[in-house]
């Protein structure tokens, strides 16, 4: 659909959501296309050793050399979505023997979301439009995570980010290897390799897996099902992450730019937003646990933990750590006790899914800067449990009634996904990313400038003007809430890093250390039209918006900056 809506002469990259983050991925792929094995951060001009290794984008870069970056990224997303579904099916096979239950569990784990459709917004993380006041009050004014955080859910991730999908593929494969290693020692090496790759390409998930497996060990100890051999095999699988963890520590100590990037604050959302994002799945999954007497003590401990977090959420209205380390340890220990009390599970697979579900909502408050990333795919274990409940409720009904009721239930539980798809199409039609400062389509001017800078690679440092968000207005000129259209002066800085392999002075809110200050310095230097001031920032090529120049009535003033390499309808590029 994005290709069908593509304006004549424009180029489509297939990205509507978190456009600038995808330019980070593309930037690594571009360096792999250059023949590099270790990557540097080209969103800054700070000197750095260039020690970053990412196996996934290294391989994608080699593929992109044959088919181009956009097609490589899209194809990878398709392939990893398919592998994730297949592996998820294999995991569900280890949870239940009932074919109907397995189908429902698989479908809901892939499609299940929360209450987002009731307060849907296309932009932002706060409720700014009118909605039911009781719901808004319960959410403390925050949008549920199924509106804006794709990594917590299967289909939103498949729609928007291939890195999340390949990480999910590895997570599922590792869990399957852990389960199968009980009887099959050959799964240890496979799981260890997968764990190492996951540590390299999405290190947060290695911590998530480790914490879930601690809970799983507790659950096995509680029923005396953990053999010495199985425990050691699981430890060997986890140990697969050690080589890449050591490399991570080495890079962190020796690369100041990587240190700054790793210190970027990505706090977990308010707990009310998390509950809203998984509300239906948590409710149905909890009912499934409540039906079984042997799970009720575990459910009680889990429920008390949730209630406390929900109540205390009113004191966590600003970004920051919700829990201190000691408080988090107490809560995690309580949940491990709940795991220890899981009695009489039908299978090891069901036990693992229950543990993953109960811990998935608490682990993301581990007091570290990257904690939001630990919500990774929390919808999957809760979706499986919700599916098992629905299958159990419908299992005795006549086949046609059972099928229709199952379809209706799945549609209700996946309502927000329809909104995700409609938003992707809306953003493409409006030619604006969800960031509101990036276009979806590359204009003719931008394509021409990229072709001029491609051969220069990292030796070219781009400094391009950036305007603000362009909020839609009604017929009376009043701003329309939660509605932005294509920015008049979009941020094209990250595109030169991603597609031409250039560097930028200020290109990404997270990748550029001290981004806000450097963005201000860039704007002042461009506004000065002083080649000396621009050179002092290391910029070799300045890009001005023609709309800005014409508004000031000084389109020819750019000639004092340097040689005019390109002058189009939208942009003017100057070699300083």
Backbone angles phi, psi at 573, to 5 degrees: -110, 130
Please give the Cα distance from 113 to 125 (Å, whole number).
Answer: 16
Please give the Cα distance from 6 to 441 (Å, whole number).
Answer: 7
β-strands 479-485, 541-545: how paired? Answer: unpaired
Angle at alpha carbon of residue 527, lines to 523 and 530, rounded to 5°: 110
Structural domain range at position 118: 76-395
Q: Are residues 84 and 56 in the same domain?
A: no
> Domains in the chain: how many in total?
2
**Residue 405 included in any domain:** no
Q: What is the pLDDT of residues 173-194, one digit of tens each?
A: 999 999 999 999 999 999 999 9
Separation in Å, CA 265 to CA 149, 367, 529 = 16, 11, 34
Question: Pick from 378, 418, 409: which is nearest to 109 by CA?
Answer: 378
Backbone angles phi, psi at 441, to 5 degrees: -105, 145
Give the per-residue pLDDT at 365: 96
Q: In angstroms, how far apart are the furthest CA atoms of the chain? A: 81
Give the per-residue pLDDT at 322: 87
Tell me which residues of the chain have a pLDDT lower than 50: none
Please give the Cα distance from 85 to 67 (Å, whole number).
Answer: 25
Question: Pick from 551, 53, 88, 24: which is nearest to 356 by CA?
Answer: 88
Please give the Cα distance from 350 to 538 (Å, whole number).
Answer: 57
Check: CB of residue 354 under 8 Å from CB of residue 386. no
Check: CB of residue 390 under 8 Å from CB of residue 104. yes
Separation in Å, CA 80 to CA 153, 170, 567 = 15, 10, 41
Question: Where are the extended beta strands (E) located within 3-83?
Answer: 11-12
Q: Are residues 242 and 313 in the same domain?
A: yes
Give the per-residue pLDDT at 263: 86
Q: Are residues 39 and 99 in the same domain?
A: no
Domain boundary among 340, 375, 395: 395
Q: Are residues 316 and 341 in the same domain?
A: yes
Q: Are residues 59 and 89 in the same domain?
A: no
> How far is residue 494 CA from its own chain's centroid?
18
Q: Are residues 258 and 294 in the same domain?
A: yes
Domain boundary among 395, 411, 435: 395
**Residue 417 included in any domain:** no
Q: Are residues 441 and 494 in the same domain?
A: yes
Give the per-residue pLDDT at 286: 97
**Residue 406 included in any domain:** no
Helix (H, G, I), strand (E, B) or coil at 184: coil
Q: How many CA atoms lie within 13 A of 237 on its CB side?
A: 30
**Residue 513 included in any domain:** yes
Q: What is the pLDDT of residues 540-562, one digit of tens each?
A: 999 999 998 988 878 778 889 99
Check: CB of residue 201 under 8 Å from CB of residue 376. no
Helix (H, G, I), strand (E, B) or coil at 228: helix
Q: Are residues 359 and 248 in the same domain?
A: yes
**Residue 187 included in any domain:** yes
Give the per-residue pLDDT at 557: 81
Q: Are residues 569 and 448 in the same domain?
A: yes
DSSP state of 397: S
Give the per-residue pLDDT at 319: 79
Give the per-residue pLDDT at 189: 98
**Residue 146 included in any domain:** yes
Q: Are residues 89 and 151 in the same domain?
A: yes
Check: CB of residue 177 under 8 Å from CB of residue 349. no
**Residue 183 included in any domain:** yes
The DSSP code sequence of 100-147 is: HHHHHHHHHHHH---SGGGG--SS-SB--S---HHHHHHTTTBPPHHH
Q: Are residues 93 and 213 in the same domain?
A: yes
Residues facing residue 441 across a β-bridge? 12
**Residue 52 included in any domain:** yes
Give the per-residue pLDDT at 236: 98
Q: Are residues 210 and 286 in the same domain?
A: yes
């Amino acid at each position: 659909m994005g290709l069908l809506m593509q304006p004549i002469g424009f180029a489509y990259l297939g990205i509507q959501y978190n456009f600038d983050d995808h330019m980070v991925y593309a930037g690594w792929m571009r360096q792999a296309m250059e023949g590099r094995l270790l990557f540097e951060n080209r969103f800054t001009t700070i000197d750095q050793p260039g020690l970053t290794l990412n196996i996934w984008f290294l391989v994608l870069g080699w593929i992109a050399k044959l088919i181009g970056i956009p097609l490589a990224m899209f194809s990878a997303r398709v392939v990893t979505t398919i592998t994730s579904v297949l592996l998820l099916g294999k995991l569900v096979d280890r949870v239940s023997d009932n074919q109907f239950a397995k189908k429902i569990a698989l479908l809901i784990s892939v499609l299940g979301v929360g209450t987002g459709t009731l307060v849907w917004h296309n932009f932002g993380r706060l409720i700014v439009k009118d909605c039911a006041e009781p719901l808004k009050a319960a959410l403390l004014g925050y949008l549920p995570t199924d509106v804006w955080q794709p990594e917590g859910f299967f289909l939103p991730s498949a729609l928007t980010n291939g890195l999340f999908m390949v990480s999910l593929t590895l997570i599922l494969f590792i869990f399957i290897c852990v389960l199968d290693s009980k009887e099959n020692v050959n799964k240890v090496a496979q799981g260890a390799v997968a764990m190492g790759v996951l540590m390299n390409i999405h290190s947060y998930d290695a911590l998530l897996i480790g914490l879930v497996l601690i809970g799983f060990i507790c659950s096995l100890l509680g029923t005396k099902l953990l053999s010495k051999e199985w425990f050691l095999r699981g430890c060997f699988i986890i140990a697969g992450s050690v080589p890449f963890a050591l490399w991570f520590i080495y890079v962190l100590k020796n690369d100041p730019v990587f240190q700054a990037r790793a210190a970027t604050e990505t706090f977990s959302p308010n707990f009310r937003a998390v509950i809203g994002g998984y509300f239906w799945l948590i409710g149905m999954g909890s009912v499934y646990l409540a039906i079984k007497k042997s799970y009720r003590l575990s459910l009680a401990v889990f429920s008390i933990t949730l209630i406390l977090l929900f109540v205390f959420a009113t004191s966590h209205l600003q970004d920051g750590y919700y829990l201190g380390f000691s408080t988090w340890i107490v809560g995690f220990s309580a949940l491990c006790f709940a795991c220890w009390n899981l009695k009489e599970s039908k299978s090891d697979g069901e036990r693992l899914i229950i543990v993953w579900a109960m811990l998935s909502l608490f682990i993301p408050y581990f007091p570290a800067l990257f904690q939001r990333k630990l919500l990774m795919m929390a919808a999957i274990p809760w979706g499986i449990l919700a599916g098992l409940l629905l299958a159990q409720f419908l299992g005795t009904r006549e086949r046609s009634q059972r099928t229709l009721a199952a379809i209706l239930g799945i549609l209700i539980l996946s309502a927000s996904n329809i909104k995700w798809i409609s938003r992707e199409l809306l953003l493409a039609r409006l030619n604006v990313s969800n960031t509101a400062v990036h276009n979806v389509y590359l204009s003719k001017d931008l394509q021409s400038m990229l072709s001029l800078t491609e051969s220069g690679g990292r030796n070219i440092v781009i400094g391009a003007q950036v305007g603000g968000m362009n909020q839609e207005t009604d017929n009376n000129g009043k701003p329309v809430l939660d509605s932005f259209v294509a920015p008049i002066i979009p941020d094209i800085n990250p595109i030169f890093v991603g597609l031409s392999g250039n560097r930028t002075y200020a290109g990404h809110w997270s990748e550029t250390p001290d981004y806000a200050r450097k963005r201000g310095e860039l704007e002042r230097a461009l506004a000065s039209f002083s080649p000396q001031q621009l050179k002092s920032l290391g910029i070799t090529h300045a890009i001005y918006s023609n709309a800005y120049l014409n508004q000031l009535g000084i389109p020819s003033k750019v000639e004092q900056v340097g040689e005019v390499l390109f002058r189009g309808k939208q942009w003017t590029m100057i070699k300083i």
